[in-house]
Amino acid sequence: MRRASTCLALIGLAVLGLSATALAAPTVTLKAAAVPIPINLASPGGRTYPGTGNILGAGTALETEFLISGTEYGGGPPPLREVKLFAPAGSKLHTQGFTTCSATTLEHSGPGACSKKSYASPLGEANGYVSFGTERVHERVTVQGFFVSGGLAFYANGNSPVSIEIVSKGNVTYSGGAPVFTAEVPLIPSVPGALDASATQIKVKVGAAYKKGKKLISYATVPKKCPKGGFPVRAELKFGAGESPAEWVTSTASYKAPCPKK
């Protein structure tokens, strides 16, 4: 089992690739949607809280999906190193009152050592490739978010063909009054001498809520107004096999999530 600890979501799986030479930026597409908040995050597909989702001013979970394509690194995209997601103006986060788990506990003992109340998302997934010599092999990992002190952590777990166990820690800042989530992704080795893993797809739904008396307290809230054309969501992803950020390349993606139906 390989364990790595960094800063998030995300978390990256990947085609193992070449050394840190100058690379072109891969192509990234983004989809995002405000969706109802699951009541039980440990049970995907279960009931959701009424009155949450793509409703102006309501509590919500944010579902995002990244698709990554490129041939710059051993025939695939370079390893993903950082994800920065810019939420629409007017979005709000309420971080108090949620049960937390330690990133150290996640790293050393896994999700089973954390309270289910610390879950920040149901199980998501990431897909990509690992390498055995010159052979590229597909691998899928599950991805799940947890509330930790100071932000969020994401636990990625894969079993075949390579055992992967990664804790990636993210933090939230603000730009223009809107939340900005930043996550750093570690290099994921497969076997000695082979290329590091690289991600081709990441999909995760982040959002939780708890009851305070009769009031529902949501981690995230939809803006009270929706601009014409939809909510603008933007992302910056950095890629590279080197340890120095100066060697990384940046790809950007944007998406307009649909306004609520009237």
| Half-sphere exposure at residue 48, Cβ-oriented, CA atoms within 13 angstroms | 19
pLDDT in tens, 27-36: 999 999 999 9
Q: How confident is the model at residue 43 (pLDDT cuts 50, 70, 90)?
A: confident
Q: Provide the Cα torsion 141, 147, 148, 151; round to 10°.
A: 100
For the chain, give the mean pLDDT.
88
Q: How confident is the model at residue 193 (pLDDT cuts 50, 70, 90)?
A: confident
Indicate the pairing of strand 215-218 with strand 198-206: unpaired
Q: Tokens at residue 154, please?
A: 């994401």
Mean pLDDT confidence for 8-25: 44
- The confidence score (pLDDT) of residue 64 equals 97
Which of 60-64, 93-97, 191-195, 230-234 shows the lowest per-residue confidence on average (mean pLDDT)?
191-195
CA 149 to chain centre: 17
| Half-sphere exposure at residue 232, Cβ-oriented, CA atoms within 13 angstroms | 7
Of 99 and 15, the one with more pLDDT: 99
Of 193 and 171, the one with more pLDDT: 171
pLDDT in tens, 229-242: 999 999 999 999 88
Which of 7-11, 83-87, 89-93 shows the lowest per-residue confidence on average (mean pLDDT)?
7-11
Which of 10-19, 51-60, 199-208 shows the lowest per-residue confidence on average (mean pLDDT)?
10-19
Dist. CA 66–CA 238, nearest whole Å: 13
Is 18 a residue whose pLDDT tops 60? no
pLDDT in tens, 130-186: 888 778 889 999 999 999 988 899 999 998 888 888 888 889 999 988 999 999 898
CA 163 to chain centre: 20
- The confidence score (pLDDT) of residue 162 equals 81
Is 114 a residue whose pLDDT tops 60? yes
Is 84 a residue whose pLDDT tops 80? yes
Of 2 and 130, the one with more pLDDT: 130
Could you tell me which residues come within 8 angstroms of residue 134 by beta carbon, excluding any fewer than 6 positions away?
none
Q: How confident is the model at residue 189 (pLDDT cuts 50, 70, 90)?
A: confident
Of 13 and 110, the one with more pLDDT: 110
